[in-house]
Amino acid sequence: MMLALKGIGKDFDQEDGGKVRVLDGISLEVEDDQIVAILGPSGCGKTTLLRIIAGLDPASRGEVLLDGLRVERPSPRVGMIFQEHALLPWCSIIDNVCIGLEMRGVAREEAKEKAMLYLHMVGLEKVPDQRPHELSGGMRQRASVARALTMEPALLLMDEPFSALDPLTRKQIQEDILGIQEKAGKSIVMVTHSVDEALFLSTEIVVLSARPGRICRTMNIDLKRPREREGPGFLENKKEILSLLEGLARPLPERG
């Protein structure tokens, strides 16, 4: 698998007819087994970039290539984990996880069997018949990871997937993501607000500048795994990124 972003730019139309440049000249390559974390100040277009990679939004300039083919619409080759779990609340967990397989034409029983495998992988094998609202936030997010994995995507996109979780659950699920990534061998591109999360998970950190988002720094993170969140290398990197982010942040509203 090879993801290549070539000069991605995005403008948003404004009410007065003008345009706002949100992203500009983003070029990036992601290879097999890489975990790339995108960091940046609020409103720098991180989520927009992820949505462009997913094929959910069109880029204004440039192109996204997945194994040499242009990404223009959503495809099962790319999985997406949303900030909020986005499970269908009227379906049980197993039905939520099955849905992609069934749409692909897999028979119900076979789809269920396969879905159970992935539920096992994320530790939800005991609750297949519960509804999403009966599970905790962490479990719901695990279920949406399982749902995305059933499609066996080559690339997994995550949009601040754990930001709504409490710190402990968050740590646990981060570790699980690493385990899953090793087992299933995916590349991951994730957007996060948390420098800790980025450092713990990723092989590469991309820091975007404030609007318009441009890549202002790419860092290879070659810390040994399992990574110690208090380890010297970890803290050193963290300091560096934090000071970089502080320099980039403008005194603007909190979220964007």
Partner 1 sequence: MASDHIIRKLAFPIGLLLIWELLALVIKSQFILPDLTAVLGVLLSPGSDVMGGGSLLDNALISLQRVGLGFLAATCLAVPLGLAMGRFEPVRDALEGTISALRPIPPLAWVPLGLAWLKIGLLSMIFIIGLGAFFPILLSTMHGVQGVKRSWLEAIAMMGADERRLLSRVVLPAAAPEIWTGMRIGFGIAWMCVVAAEMLPGANSGLGNLIMYAYGWGQIQVVVAGMIVIGLIGLGIDRLFLAIERRWFSWREYER
Pick from 25, 62, 76, 231 the residue near partner 1 by CB under 8 A.
Answer: 76
The partner residues of 157 in beta bridges, in order of sequence, read 80, 189
- Angstrom distance (rounded) from CA 115 to CA 109: 10
- Angstrom distance (rounded) from CA 191 to CA 157: 8
Determine how β-strand 187-191 pairs with β-strand 35-39. parallel
Closest to partner 1 by CB, 126 vs 133, is 133
Window contacting partner 1 (CB under 8 A); options: 63-71, 130-138, 199-207, 235-243: 130-138
Closest to partner 1 by CB, 149 vs 215, is 149
Window contacting partner 1 (CB under 8 A); options: 126-134, 168-176, 180-188, 226-234: 126-134
To partner 1, the closest distance from the beta carbon of 186 in angstroms equals 14
- Angstrom distance (rounded) from CA 32 to CA 187: 5
Alpha helices by DSSP H, listed for the chain, are 46-54, 93-103, 108-121, 137-149, 167-184, 195-201, 232-248
What mask of x and - would describe binding to partner 1 in positions 17 to 56, judged by CB under 8 A? -------------------------------------x-x
Pick from 20, 69, 103, 117 the residue near partner 1 by CB under 8 A.
Answer: 103
CA-based radius of gyration for the chain: 18
Cβ partners under 8 Å of residue 101, min gap 6: 110, 111, 114, 115, 150, 151
Asked whether position 214 contacts partner 1 by CB under 8 A, the answer is no
Pick from 17, 18, 90, 168 the residue near partner 1 by CB under 8 A.
Answer: 90
CB atoms < 10 A from the CB of 209, how many? 19
Cβ contact 36:188 at 8 Å: yes
Asked whether position 148 contacts partner 1 by CB under 8 A, the answer is yes
Asked whether position 86 contacts partner 1 by CB under 8 A, the answer is yes
Pick from 9, 45, 79, 128 the residue near partner 1 by CB under 8 A.
Answer: 79
To partner 1, the closest distance from the beta carbon of 103 in angstroms equals 6
Contact residues for partner 1 (CB under 8 A)? 54, 56, 74-76, 78-80, 82, 84, 86-90, 99-100, 103-104, 131-133, 144, 147-148, 151
